[in-house]
């Protein structure tokens, strides 16, 4: 009988925690026991796991005794406090927050791109930012073929990336505006319904946002190539779920749109949806609730010597967060890495 694992989900009651529980069950991860962990106010709640219900427990420093893998989805401050505790208890942590992503000794993993980086983990593995994940899945086969010199990305990010309360705010504001009532603004700095906000996270001294900084730094780390120039503009849009990206690429060598389609079609985790004559291209309403990264609108950029434009869409709660975390856990099992180096 193959080994099974005690798995904790930290932040189990949140949107990403819900998806983690669902995906673990869907993919048949070898779970001997699931331990949903959350704040004290959620302790005792019954949560679905496959066909069963499991009781949510309060997250405490003693929660990780005997746990093999912990999937964290509770925010950076919780991860900073509890991930080292879990690691020291002998548990391998896969953290979905921004807390550990730029730490030099913490692998930042997208299994389709850099699975080998997991071999050097020291008990904590970082799950990248949602927008970065879907982009690098598409970049990897193209970079291997023609080497990317520069990436210009503009994102169109759904409100589910902020959490369930943001989805509720979009629905409520839409109703208020249609009824002729001034919209109540609580989650975002401005109205999100029927609007676009060119700000995700706080602004930095150079005028970029933290979200844009994440895309720049994380792309280089995951791709293992600091020479790639990356610039990003991240925008929140009034879409419930599914992030979209307009990506402009400049390569060292020529790469035709036809060759790019072939490479992407053969790559794991990608669906090419690219038939403009039939009005077929990736859209959030198609990607939502599914696992692949969808790529379309593949065409030349004639303003540079070796340029292509892509349109990339994925479910930000699944591939952009929970699915990628579970895939990292699967990678740990496959490569016999479910242990913390002593």
Q: Is residue 43 part of a domain?
A: yes
177 and 302 housed in the same domain: yes
186 and 163 Cβ atoms separated by less than 8 Å: no
How many domains would you assign to the chain? Answer: 2
86 and 178 housed in the same domain: no
- Residue 339 has a pLDDT of 86
122 and 136 housed in the same domain: no
Q: Is residue 340 part of a domain?
A: no
- Residue 1 has a pLDDT of 47
- Residue 342 has a pLDDT of 67
CATH code, 156: 3.30.360.10
178 and 217 housed in the same domain: yes
279 and 329 housed in the same domain: no
d(CA 201, CA 189): 11
Q: Is residue 285 part of a domain?
A: yes
- Residue 341 has a pLDDT of 77
10-residue mean pLDDT profile of the chain (342 residues): values are 90 96 97 97 95 96 97 96 98 97 96 97 98 98 98 98 96 98 98 98 97 98 97 98 98 98 98 98 98 98 97 98 98 94 72
d(CA 79, CA 98): 9
Q: Which of 121, 143, 243, 306 is catalytic?
A: 243
274 and 210 housed in the same domain: yes
Contacts of 72 (CB under 8 A, 6+ apart): 10, 11, 78, 79, 82, 83, 93, 94, 95, 96, 97
19 and 86 housed in the same domain: yes
Residue 130 annotated in active site: yes
d(CA 122, CA 126): 11
56 and 182 housed in the same domain: no
* Domain that residue 278 falls in: 132-316
80 and 174 housed in the same domain: no
Q: Which of 130, 143, 234, 306 is catalytic?
A: 130
User: Among all chains, which residue has been given the structure tokens 């070898």?
Assistant: 30
d(CA 156, CA 172): 21
Q: Are strands 307-314 and 293-300 parallel, antiparallel or unpaired?
A: antiparallel
């Amino acid at each position: 009988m193959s080994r099974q694992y005690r798995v904790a989900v930290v932040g189990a009651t949140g949107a990403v925690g819900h998806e983690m529980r669902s995906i673990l069950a869907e993919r048949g991860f070898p779970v001997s026991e699931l331990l949903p962990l959350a704040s004290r106010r959620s302790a005792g709640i019954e949560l679905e796991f496959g066909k069963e219900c499991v009781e949510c427990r309060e997250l405490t420093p003693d929660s990780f005794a005997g746990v093999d893998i912990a999937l964290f989805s509770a925010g950076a401050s919780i991860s900073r406090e509890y991930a080292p505790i879990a690691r020291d208890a002998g548990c391998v942590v896969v953290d979905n927050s921004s807390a550990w992503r730029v730490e030099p000794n913490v692998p930042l993993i997208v299994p389709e791109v850099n699975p080998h980086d997991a071999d050097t983990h020291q008990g904590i593995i970082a799950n990248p930012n949602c927008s970065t994940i879907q982009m690098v899945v598409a970049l990897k086969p193209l970079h291997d073929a023609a080497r990317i010199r520069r990436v210009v990305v503009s994102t169109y990010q759904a409100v589910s990336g902020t959490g369930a309360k943001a989805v509720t705010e979009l629905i409520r504001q839409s109703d208020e505006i249609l009824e002729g009532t001034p919209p109540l603004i609580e989650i975002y700095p401005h109205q999100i319904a029927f609007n676009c906000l060119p700000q995700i996270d706080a602004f930095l001294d150079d005028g970029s946002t933290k979200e844009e900084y994440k895309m720049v730094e994380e792309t280089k780390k995951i791709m293992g190539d600091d020479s790639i120039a990356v610039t990003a503009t991240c925008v929140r849009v009034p879409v419930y779920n599914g992030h979209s990206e307009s990506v402009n690429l400049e390569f060292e060598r020529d790469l035709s749109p036809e060759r790019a389609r072939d490479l992407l079609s053969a790559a794991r985790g990608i669906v090419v949806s690219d038939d403009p004559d039939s009005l077929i291209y990736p859209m959030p309403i198609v990607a939502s609730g599914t696992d692949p990264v969808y790529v379309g609108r593949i065409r030349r950029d004639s303003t540079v010597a070796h340029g292509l434009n892509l349109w990339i869409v994925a479910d930000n709660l699944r591939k952009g967060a929970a699915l990628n975390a579970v895939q990292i856990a699967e990678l740990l099992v496959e490569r016999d890495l479910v242990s913390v180096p002593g």
